[in-house]
Each structure stands twice: as C-alpha cells, then as structure tokens.
A and B are shown apart, each in its own frame.
Chain A
Amino acid sequence: MITLDNLSIAHGQKTIMQGISTTLASGQVHVIIGPNGTGKSTLLRTLFADLPLQSGRICWQDKILAPGHHRSRQLQQWRHDIAYMPQDTGLDVSLSVLEIVVLGGLETLTLHIDSSLLEQAMDCLQAAGIAELAHRDIGSLSGGQRQMVLFAQVLMRNARMMLLDEPVSALDLHHQIAMLDLVREQTRARNLVTVIVLHDLNLACQYADNLLIFSHGRLQASGAPLAVITPQLISHTYGVALDIVYDNGGLPLIQPLSRHHPLTIKNTLRKEA
C-alpha cells in the first residue's frame, strides 16, 4: 500500500499539484484520469521519485519519500522495486526486441547472458503476445509494437510497483485489451501496486479498481468507478456535455455528446420549452 500524505508537487517555480492525500492499495489497479495538463504524468514521475516534492510525503513499504530527499542513493533505494514505463515510445537504438526485454533484468545481467534469463525474456514476450518479434530490430517496429515490447520489459522487471503512463496510446483495440488484461492479472497475481494513466474513460472504468479523477492540480474524487462516475463530475472535469449509460454488466459507459448529437438538441429544446 502506498500512502500519499498532503502532497504538493512543483515543476520549477510553478506548483502543479497540491493537497493530494490518498492511499493506493496493493493488488489493485489504480487508474488516473483527467484533462490534459492536470499533472497526471507528473504524479507518476513523482511516485517514481523523478520530481522533487514541495511538501507532504509518500510512504511505501518501509520507505518514505519527503521533500529534500534527492540524494541519489535515497532515490536509487526508492526506485528499486518500481517498474516505470514513460509515455514516449521513441527508441533510437540498434538493439533487437529480445535484447531490449533482457535489459529488464539489468540487475541480474552478467557479461554472459544466462540462458535462463533469455527463457524468462521470451516468456514475457509470449505473455505480451509478441514472441514472433523477438529477433526484429526495435527500430523496424511500429509505435504500437514498440509499446508492447516496452511493456514486456516492464514484466521482466519483477517489480512491486508498476507505473504505466498511457501504455495503450498507440495500440489497436485488440492489444489494448490484451495489455490491460495482463496488467490486471499481474497486479492480482503478484500483489503489485499498479498505477496507470489512461485517456479513454471507458477503458478506465473497465479496468480500474480505484479511479482517481484529477483536474486543476487537485484530486477531485477517487473510488470504484461505479461510485465516483457521475455525469456532473465528469462533465465538469472535462467541460463537455455527456451522458452516462450502464452496460449489461453494470459498468458505467461515458458517452460524450457533441453539439449536434440528437440528445443535445433534445435537451436544448426541453430547456427552451
């Protein structure tokens, strides 16, 4: 379990987030949503100890991250069990997919790569459904394929906390579902704390055990999707007219209403009448 205690985060002089207090339980998938520029990626980087805290503190396992903790040894310790997948997939390096995934086991790598490590890397590639790409050059892959490879590297890490910044942004529907299913399975099986930033609200509702809604640098609401998703909150957060329907499984589905959507027109007519 991670405890965030009255966190404020600044980027240079500008305060980006403030007053954030919440707990993130192990074995659960925590999904961060919110409009562009509200600090979703900033929060992930803070959890990874890449940005200094302005005030407040984060507790995880027996470790504490607080303002002033930026000596590199402290940071190394904090990061030790964290697998972080940054947002950009830009990779300009002449390595094969298998080599990239093997690097996930960096801490146990020796100059001779042990066959058991290669086995493990192939397992991760297979779990991600891209075993056939193993010998391709990473530079020759599409953005989506690269995202899957980087995810396989995350699996290889054997971490206790998994931070994924928009991991499905370049993926087609099939791979989005495949990756997020795998994220959930791994989170449950290995009792990880998993924090994901997603833009797709419906995917977020489907995969979140705990949904964290951010806007204007503040945590607006958190909890199970069914409990926190209301038309008012989402509509206010994103500044969009929308409707919420519930699918057969009882999960909320968010339907944005464009200005020309029949429902918008009906609502306007009703208001005018």
Chain B
Amino acid sequence: MTVPVTEHQDAIVRFRLRERRRWQWLFIFFLLTLVTFVLDVATGPSLLSPGEVVRSILNYGDRDSMTDSIVRGLRLPIALMALAVGASLGAGGAQMQTLLNNPMASPYTLGMAAAAGFGAAAMLAVGGLGLHDMIAVPLGAFVFSMVAAAFLFFLASMRRTNIESIILGGIALLFLFQSLISLIQFIASPELSQQILFWLFGSLTKTTWPTLGITTLVTIACCILLWLDSWKLAALRMGEMRAASLGVNVRRLRIKVLVIVAVMTATATSFVGVIGFIGLVAPHLARVSVGEDQRFYLPMSMLSGALMLSAASVLSKSIIPGALFPVGIVTAIVGVPFLLWLIFAPRRRAR
C-alpha cells in the first residue's frame, strides 16, 4: 500500500494541530498552577502581596526581610509540597484508572490510603517503637500502604484474575483498614485519638525540606517511568485482550504500574496524611481536556492534581482568616461539586 506522501497531508496537519492544542492545554494549566502556587505562598496569617512573594522566591528586587523569612522559611516548602503531592496523587489516580479500566479507581478507593492511615494510627498508638514521631508515623504509613499494594499485586499476578476482582479486593481493603482505624481510635485515649484524627485529615503543615525533597524526587522518577510507557498504557485502555494482541505484555505492565503507583502514593501519603479525591478528579479533568493520549494525559493529570491541591491549600487558609482547615477536608468539599459538574456538563467533542 504505497501512496504518494501528500495524499493524507490534510489528515496529518489536523492531527498535528490537535497535538498542538493539547500542548496549549498543558501550558494553560501550568500557568494556572503557577498562579495558585504564588497565591498559596501569599496567603496565611500575614497576607503578603503576590508581587512581593515572586520577588522573594526569585531573590530579585526590593522586599522586606520579614517577607523572606516567612516565604522561604515557612511557606515555600508547604506550597511546593502541595504541588508535589497533588501531582503524585493525580498521576497515581490516572494510572490506576488506566490499569483497571475503571474511572472509579484511585489509590484512595482501592484502600491504599486507608492502609497508610492505619499504619500511621497504629504507630501513634504504640508510641512509635522508640522512633521519633516524625519518622515513625510516615514509616508506618508507608509500610502499610505497601502491604495493601502487595495484596493488590498478588491479585493482579494470579493468572486468571480479571479487573473486577482487583477492584473488589481493593474495596475490601478499604473497608478493612477503615474499621481497623476506627478500632484503634475507639481503644485509644482521647488525646491520641485526636492526634490520629488530625493525621487522617491530611495536612501539609508538617512539611520539611527533606520530606519535600523525597516526595518530589520519587514523584518525578515514577512519572518519567510511567510516561515512557505511554503507548502501552494507551493500548491497555482498549482492553487487556486487545493490548495483548498489540504486543503488550499485559501481566508485566500491570505489575510494573502497580508498583510505581504504590511507591509514589505511599510516599506522598506517608508525609501528608490521607488526601482523598484528587486521585479521582484530576484524571477526569485531564481526560476531558486532552483525551487519553497518554503522552498528554499523564502530565495533564499531574498538573490538574497539583493545581487542585494548591488551590485547596489557598482555600483552607482563607475560608476563615487566621484559621487553618486541614487541606484534606477542603479537597473533598470543593471536589465533589466539581466532579459532578465534570460528569454532567455537556461533553465537547473537539479536542
């Protein structure tokens, strides 16, 4: 089937145009994320002007010396953590949904977040096994979300497992760990219970530069690995059988993606606590805007996640001036109407 090169010129130009439009979407979301990031740094007990924040971050031009210490010492790591965790949850959710061919899948709905919560609560309850709280709690969370993931791998690696059984297994985990958390809270002293509850809400305020560094590195490394498999993942969305017939080693891909997503979300969750909903909504937003060409879908999910968590962080500080709501609560409250709007808004065909 050889045809002159020019025959399909129109179709190819149109395809390239579509690719360019997707780049534009990414760029727009990048700019929006930058804006919310600056606002995030600017809001707080003492309100700073965005201009001053930018000058302080870039270390350029006049600003108060107070500003520098507030921005660099206190708010910058937290604001950056919002971006890193948001991106990690967005990407994790996106690939869980791809993997399980189901828009309801996310690390949260499959019990990995609940397992992390249980790990953290258990660590608080036993007094950290001699380790400092700052290390013990993330460690417990990480270990248990990996346990949950290991259970999901086990399901995924059985030869005749279908997608539904993995999802049901995940939901079973969610219920199991939630009851276990309730059990610990029920047994524990009121003070301890309060502490557990605070962790479960999810909060960025305990961020330090080292935890930020770890989260960022893990997220970037995992996303690059996922991104390199863009085409295989796109093929997987056509169904496992079709992916296999296109030459994808489905079982291996499934395990690989599960491991990557597990490490990524376990890391994020262990430092900031349980933040639901972003893993569910960010991929949806990405799908509506750029479609499921994974080369764009994955970065778009990351950007959407980062944007949402950053915006939620701004909101959590400005609902009642001076008071700080846990960001995990805000994401769900703001996320639900947004998700409903995404689902019920009329779909645009042109992308």
A residues apposed to B, CB below 8 Å: 48, 50, 70, 72, 76, 79-80, 82-86, 88, 90-96, 98-100, 103-104, 106-107, 109, 111, 113, 115, 118-120, 122-124, 126-127, 131, 134-135, 137, 140, 150, 153, 157
Contact = CB atoms under 8 A, between A and B. Distances in A.
B68 interface: no
Interface of B: 1, 3, 5, 7-8, 11-12, 14-15, 18, 101, 159, 227-228, 230-232, 234-235, 237-239, 241-242, 244-249, 251-252, 287, 291-293, 295, 349, 351
A60 B156 CA distance: 30
A108 to B, nearest CB: 10
B5 A96 contact: no
Contacts of A100: 238
A127 B8 CA distance: 13
A98 to B, nearest CB: 6
Contacts of B242: 86, 150
Nearest to B101: A92
Contact of A122 (B11, B18, B231, B249): B11
A70 B251 CA distance: 12
A103 B231 contact: yes
Contacts of A150: 242
A157 B251 CA distance: 21
A113 B291 CA distance: 16
Nearest to A150: B242
B247 A107 contact: yes
A118 B159 contact: no
A106 B246 contact: yes
Given A103-B234, A109-B231, A79 B8 contact: no
Contacts of B252: 72
Given A94-B291, A103-B231, A122 B12 contact: yes
18 contacts: A72-B251, A76-B249, A80-B247, A86-B239, A93-B292, A95-B237, A98-B11, A99-B234, A100-B238, A103-B238, A106-B246, A106-B247, A119-B12, A122-B7, A131-B11, A137-B349, A150-B242, A157-B245
A135 B230 contact: no
B235 A115 contact: no
Given A94-B291, A103-B238, A123-B1, A115 B12 contact: yes
